Amino acid sequence: MRFEQYCVLKEKLLACAVLPDGRKSMPQPAPLVLAYLGDAVFSLCVRERLAAAERGKVRVLNDVGAQIVCAAAQASALEEILPLLTPEETAVVRRGRNAKSSVPKNATLHEYRQSTGFECLLGWLHWRGDSGRLCFLLDRAFCFLIENLRKRAID
């Protein structure tokens, strides 16, 4: 993307971001934008839950949080909740998983695609305002990931 194009897109974003009804007047975002939103939703959920359990040791919070929000962990969380998803939710995961993006060095292509699908689902549920379903799936994913970390710590 050229710098001029970037500046135009940035200005458009900043102009739209101040709309009072935000989501209501905008169409549903693209899968990678939903994944961007879902990443923030998942990170906040993990941080809130960990902070409730440990009040003083930020290094421990950060280390455990990083292990939970990494692409490999999110991919395994998706595998865990996949049987619980509705056909519509499964389609959202598929769109997120198939979205074209660059893969970071610390994840395999499969892990990254799966984690993007997981984040896209969370972003989509948040965008729709379906907090009940979002909380249910986040709880299942979080508990599964914590159990995996506990098992690895014992081994």
CATH number at residue 78: 1.10.1520.10
Residue 6 banded pLDDT, cuts 50, 70, 90: confident
Report pLDDT for 101: 82
Q: Which of 125, 100, 126 is nearest to 113 (CA)?
A: 100
Those residues whose C-beta lies under 8 Å from the C-beta of residue 133, and which sit 6 or more positions away, are 125
Give the type of residue at 28: Q
Q: For residue 11, tell me if it sits in a domain.
A: no
Which structural domain range is residue 57 located in? 25-154
**Chain mean pLDDT for the chain:** 90
Catalytic residue among 21, 39, 63, 139: 39
Q: Which of 81, 76, 79 is nearest to 151 (CA)?
A: 76
Q: What angle do CA 115, 120, 125 make, to 5 degrees?
A: 130
Whole-number Å distance between alpha carbons of 61 and 66: 8
**Residue, of 129 and 21, whose pLDDT is higher:** 129
Residue 39 known to be catalytic: yes
Q: 107-153 pLDDT, tens per residue?
A: 899 999 999 999 999 999 999 999 999 999 999 999 999 999 998 88
Rounded to the nearest angstrom, the gap between the alpha carbon of residue 150 and the centroid of all alpha carbons in its chain is 22
Number of domains observed in the structure of the chain: 1
